[in-house]
């Protein structure tokens, strides 16, 4: 009769152990949740930095000949469609950073040359009918054309590389012949389209020929090229053993002055002249019809003090405040330009100051809280950097 009693004791002991383990697990989960909550509630600390702070307007468009009625495919521009809300911010000569969809990884620099009138009477295209405007409307929102200069297109020189070559109006034998050429006749390559080159003869005849019949010989003097490698050495003389004057990076524009064997004498934007190996320079691959995206720089400060915009609070007195690290009270500051992420600090803070961003807490006299500002406070608007 004692055996059942022993079984009951064993069962009770097991239940006690299981219950204890359950309690320990619950306590562990509570501790973990508490730690995570404390971590989430911990204030973030940011540092006042100094550097470039810019406001930019983003737009898309396409590359077209500057004169559409008499197209010259070595004289191209970028036409951007800018939203009506942004057009008033655009001014002539503003710098434009351009990325062509077909040339990923290559950034080009241009300048605003013409702007549609934000009042609605946009500029006329060259050769357009009187009264024609460039503004367009999509979904009730108007956009206006902004013309942007592109780096001058490099012109490659070439010769005929076959005994007889027929220059045609189009790509293939089905097109009418323009003229007959012989081996070593000189040409200028003005456009490339896969296996076909559009070329110009010394007597100004223009037509198409298969690239297998054309041999590129160099770059036409007084045209522009781009650095084709990540780092390119510009040397004192036309020799790989000559002293290096300066190093430039891929995509930088070069004006070609003359040719000496495998070397080109070039001039940089800063006026520096030197020699570059022909393998380090290439023709631009821009063509009419290519789509591109661009950022127009409307404001740029090179030595601005700035903070993440979320570190600043606007209070009922209309002033802006930050909470210095370990300070007992907030500090009033004066702000300047801003974009979607950062804001300029004009007065009240120094480079390297630490600012605390309080999480899950709002002061009773906060007017709007972090990251919220009246649109009138920034006359340039909230544009992406």
Can you tell me the distance from the alpha carbon of 163 to that of 182, in angstroms, rounded to the nearest whole number?
5
In whole angstroms, what separates CA 361 from the centre of its chain? Answer: 37
pLDDT single digits (tens) 326-367: 888 899 999 988 877 888 999 999 999 999 887 654 444 444
| pLDDT, position 126 | 38
Q: Examine the pLDDT at 379 and tell me if it is beyond 60.
A: no
Q: Which domains does the chain have, with CATH numbers?
A: 44-52+301-372 (2.40.420.20), 54-152+289-293 (2.40.30.170), 156-219 (2.30.30.40), 224-282 (2.30.30.40)
For the stretch 116-121, contacts whose Cβ atoms lie closer than 8 Å and that sit 24 or more positions apart, written own/partner, are 116/82, 116/87, 116/144, 116/145, 116/146, 117/144, 118/84, 118/87, 118/88, 118/144
Does residue 376 surpass a pLDDT of 50?
no
Least confident of 11-25, 155-169, 216-230: 11-25
User: Above 60 in pLDDT, residue 107?
Assistant: yes
Supply the pLDDT for residue 257: 84
At 357 the pLDDT is: 84
pTM (global) more than 0.75: no
Residues forming beta bridges with residue 304, ordered by sequence position: 51
In the prediction, which pLDDT does 51 show? 87
Q: What is the pLDDT of residues 143-202, one digit of tens each?
A: 899 999 886 566 788 999 999 999 999 899 999 999 999 999 999 887 777 799 989 899
For residues 305 and 48, what is the distance between their CA atoms, to the nearest angstrom? 7
């Amino acid at each position: 009769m004692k055996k059942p009693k022993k079984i009951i004791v064993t069962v009770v002991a097991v239940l006690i152990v299981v219950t204890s383990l359950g309690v320990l697990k619950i306590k562990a989960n509570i501790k973990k949740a508490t730690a995570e909550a404390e971590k989430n509630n911990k204030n973030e600390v940011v540092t006042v930095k100094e550097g470039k702070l810019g406001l930019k307007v983003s737009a898309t468009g396409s590359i077209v000949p500057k004169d559409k009625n008499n197209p010259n495919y070595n004289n191209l521009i970028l036409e951007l469609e800018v939203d009506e809300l942004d057009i008033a911010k655009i001014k002539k000569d503003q710098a434009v950073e351009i990325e062509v969809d077909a040339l990923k990884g290559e950034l080009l620099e241009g300048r605003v040359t013409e702007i549609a009138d934000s009042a609605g009477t946009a500029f006329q295209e060259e050769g357009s009918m009187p009264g024609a405007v460039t503004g367009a409307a999509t979904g009730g929102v108007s956009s206006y054309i902004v013309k942007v200069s592109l780096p001058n297109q490099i012109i490659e020189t070439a010769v005929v590389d076959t005994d007889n070559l027929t220059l045609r109006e189009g790509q293939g034998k089905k097109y009418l012949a323009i003229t007959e050429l012989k081996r070593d006749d000189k040409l200028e390559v003005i456009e490339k389209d896969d296996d076909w080159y559009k070329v110009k003869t010394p007597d100004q005849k223009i037509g198409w020929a298969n690239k297998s019949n054309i041999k590129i010989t160099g770059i036409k003097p007084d045209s522009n090229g781009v650095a084709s490698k990540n780092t390119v050495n510009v040397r004192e003389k036309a020799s790989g053993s000559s002293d290096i004057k300066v190093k430039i990076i891929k995509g930088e524009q070069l004006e070609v002055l003359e040719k000496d064997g495998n070397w080109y004498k070039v001039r940089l934007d800063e006026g520096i002249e030197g020699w570059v190996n022909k393998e380090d320079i290439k023709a631009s691959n821009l063509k009419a019809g290519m789509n591109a995206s661009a950022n127009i720089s409307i404001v740029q400060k090179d030595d601005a003090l700035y903070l993440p915009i979320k570190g600043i609070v606007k209070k009922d007195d209309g002033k802006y405040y930050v909470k210095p690290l370990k300070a007992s009270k907030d500090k009033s500051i004066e702000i300047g330009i801003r974009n979607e992420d950062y804001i300029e600090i004009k007065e009240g803070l120094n480079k390297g100051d630490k600012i605390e961003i309080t999480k899950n807490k709002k002061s009773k006299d906060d007017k709007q809280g972090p990251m919220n500002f009246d649109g009138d406070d920034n006359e340039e608007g909230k544009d992406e950097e």
